[in-house]
Structure 1
Amino acid sequence: MVGGGQGAFIGAVHRIAARIDDRYQLVAGALSSDPDRAAASAAELGIDPTRSYNSFAEMAKAEAARPDGIEAVSIVTPNHLHADAAVAFLEAGIHVICDKPLSVSQAEGLRIKQCLQESSAQFFLTHNYTGYPLIREARDMISTGKLGKIRVVQAEYAQDWLAEPLETTGQKQASWRTDPKATGGGGAIGDIGTHAYNLVHYITGLEAQELAADLTSFVPGRAVDDNAHIWLRFKGGAKGQLWVSQVAVGNENALRLRIYGDKGGLEWEQENPNILWFTPLGGLRQRLTRGSGALSEAATAATRIPAGHPEGYLEAFATLYNDVADVLIHNKSADHLPNIMDGLDGMWFIEACIASSKNNGSWCERNL
């Protein structure tokens, strides 16, 4: 693991997710850019001191040379460190599991892509919400035509944890997430907006054609956006709206999706992820639940325990790690896993939102 040492949030989540299905062992790490913190973090996690490294470059070189070296690395650093770390491990022939967003710019993302094309290793991006069973069910329903031709997509991701200038208190997560040098310039759009945008594509298969955005920094002195309204035009004629906010008081982690076709509609909320609502045109609203026998093979494969026992965020994250293990060990298909192109699409989304907002909400065409 690169990053994820003392004081980090997402590193611990990745470690739990990797262990849930007993497919991984954590044996090496460059857990912090501070050598003392890196060593202390490694000791807490039971990593052999000889495999605790002061830099990801040192780790990639040393682990590639070991007969028992790591097979894959999780990169869980702030965004601005993703590209250099990913390139170092791909060049060493080590598989990369990278936290989102891909990097801080399309240019950096393309550097990763170029290295991936020349490497024997594979690359995976942890858009973890794609691991929910009912997200997989929604994707299957749309791909098999149950909603018909998609017309309208409404997505929102609202939080309130940055409603005050938390970054001025020294809180680590707030500090780097509101630092444009660490994020690439995006605030809420990069931190949580990319999740909502990715889910829209993952579930519907729709590709954005262009977007228009209005970004706001409501908290005085904040250098990045903390609220965004985004309009999307998709290839094929579908329209979408996306609201992202980290200043929406009363919302903890309110990721919501509503998708409407000419034959039916779907609704799903991340805070209640075991329920998916489906309404066929002219029919009754139906409540689909995780673990029921009527769901698709894709949803069932992502389910661990019987219906009525809640599965949530950590299990969805673990599904990605489990699926990656199946790809690497058993050579199974990776078509359902977020990849380098999804990462580049996210980079376009962030940069287009910023450019559009700076130009009074003008439409920006997708350039991938």
Structure 2
Amino acid sequence: MALDRKIRYGMVGGGPGAFIGAVHRSAAALDGELELVAGAFSSSPEKSRQQGEELHLDPDRVYDTYEQMAEQEAERADGIDAVSIVTPNFLHYDVASTFIEKGFHVVCDKPMTTTLEDAEDLCRQVEEQDVVFALTHNYSGYPLVKQARALVEQGRLGDLRKIVVEYPQGWLNRRLEEEGNKQAAWRTDREKAGAGALGDIGTHAEHLARYVTGLGIERMCADVGTVVEGRGIDDDATMLLRFDGGVRGLLHCSQISAGEENNLRLRVYGTDAGLDWHQEDPHRLKVLSDIHGDTPQQTYTHGRPHLDDSVQPFIRTPQGHPEGFIAAFANIYRSVARAIAAHEAGTEPEPWALDFPTVQDGAIGVHFIQTALESSERDAWVDASYTPPGA
């Protein structure tokens, strides 16, 4: 690394009973390049202190509010370098803005904000303050997702024709928000979440398709709805898409698909071949050959030396040992750690260390949500092209 020490980070959110905070902490710890030293883990000071004790943090660096944390950490010689934001969505903008203003780097869970205005403002703030900002679309951290992108870039699929991405879940098939489930309660609260299935998993699907193909959405026709009676937010969406250059697409995201777990899947079809990657079997990537040609079907598996050079830095285990969700998350955090270390040292990071979703990706995701809702409300095709500030 460019620095002779670990990257010090603090966390906002992720207190007792939270899910994603523990995932972020595990991922950040995996490579030993980041160290959690501070936190404002809950809106309840008591719960924040409880979480700090469980993590064996210095009590003086466990704060009652994130504003207090930003202020006091900025005054310390050994203060944090970055903040990890794992709160409900409606707090992302205020927390990020508070820390960016103090010159801290940011890792933020998705969706980045609940409004496009706030997302674009964060883009401008990041540029003005010259900080690193990463958004945790963690599925782009899987090695074979990166291999899929490399195959597209190499032209192995030929000219792209069709993109199909789906993310069905079934955990909200009934009103868990009425049964004391903390995660369901805030994720189905429009004021706290902003959007339901679209924001929670639809943005993952959109980013995965864009990351692998390099194509943005030009137009869309969306059907966004609430299937479970009495719920006040979207829980199912299907949309027809036109990507850059007229490439046809289909995106489906649902949290009411009974029996489904995290069945994220991407298929991309070109004039010469197709590819198929499935998150629940992430260490295999199928390359689908033209049925009229003489090339056999292929299956890439992780850990092999024939994977693209751009993939090699992200491979963690030998062949036959599957890599998983935490490791993909950790690939994001390790890249961010290297980028922050280089930034602080005034050097250039390794090229692979810049391979993480950025604040502009966050704005594109929020625009995707807004456009899908607009299309569904109008029951029509709408213009979906968008370039965020700083892109």
Same fold at TM > 0.5: yes
SS for the counterpart of 1:341 is helix
Q: Is the 8 A contact 1:348 1:366 kept in 2?
A: no
Consecutive unaligned residues in structure 1, runs of 5 or more: none
1:62 and 2:72 are equivalent in the alignment: yes
1:246 and 2:255 are equivalent in the alignment: yes
CA positional deviation for 1:366: 2.5
Quick check: 118-127 or 308-317, which moved more?
118-127
CA positional deviation for 1:367: 3.7
Task: Choose which of 11, 15, 24 in structure 1 pairs with 2:21.
Answer: 11
SS for the counterpart of 1:175 is helix
Q: Is the 8 A contact 2:336 2:354 kept in 1?
A: no
What pairs up with 1:185-334 in 2 under 5 angstroms?
Answer: 186-281=195-290, 282=293, 283-330=295-342, 331-332=348-349, 333=351
Q: Is the 8 A contact 1:208 1:233 kept in 2?
A: yes
In the aligned structure 2, how far is the partner of 1:362 from the partner of 1:234? 13
Using the size of structure 2 for normalisation, the TM-score is 0.92
CA positional deviation for 1:354: 0.8
Using the size of structure 1 for normalisation, the TM-score is 0.98
In the aligned structure 2, how far is the partner of 1:167 from the partner of 1:182? 13
In the aligned structure 2, how far is the partner of 1:182 from the partner of 1:273? 31
What pairs up with 1:125-140 in 2 under 5 angstroms?
Answer: 125-140=135-150
In the aligned structure 1, how far is the partner of 2:370 from the partner of 2:180? 27
In the aligned structure 2, how far is the partner of 1:363 from the partner of 1:117? 30
What pairs up with 1:6-155 in 2 under 5 angstroms?
Answer: 6-155=16-165
1:357 and 2:373 are equivalent in the alignment: no
After superposition, give the CA deviation of every residue in 1:265-284 in whole Å (9 maximum; x if it has no partner).
Answer: 00010000000000233221
Consecutive unaligned residues in structure 2, runs of 5 or more: 1-10, 343-347
In the aligned structure 1, how far is the partner of 2:385 from the partner of 2:196? 20
SS for the counterpart of 2:264 is strand
CA positional deviation for 1:118: 1.5
In the aligned structure 2, how far is the partner of 1:262 from the partner of 1:179? 44
- Could you list the structure 1 runs, at least 4 aligned residues long, displaced by more than 2 angstroms after superposition: 333-336, 361-368
In the aligned structure 1, how far is the partner of 2:386 from the partner of 2:316? 39
Identity of aligned residues (%): 46
In the aligned structure 2, how far is the partner of 1:38 from the partner of 1:115? 28
Task: Choose which of 160, 164, 180 in structure 2 pairs with 1:170.
Answer: 180
In the aligned structure 2, how far is the partner of 1:45 from the partner of 1:219? 38
CA positional deviation for 1:146: 0.8
Q: Is the 8 A contact 2:166 2:265 kept in 1?
A: yes
**What residue number does 1:338 align with?**
357
In the aligned structure 2, how far is the partner of 1:211 from the partner of 1:181? 25
Instruction: Give 2:322's aligned amino acid.
Output: P
| Aligned positions, number | 367
CA positional deviation for 1:335: 4.3
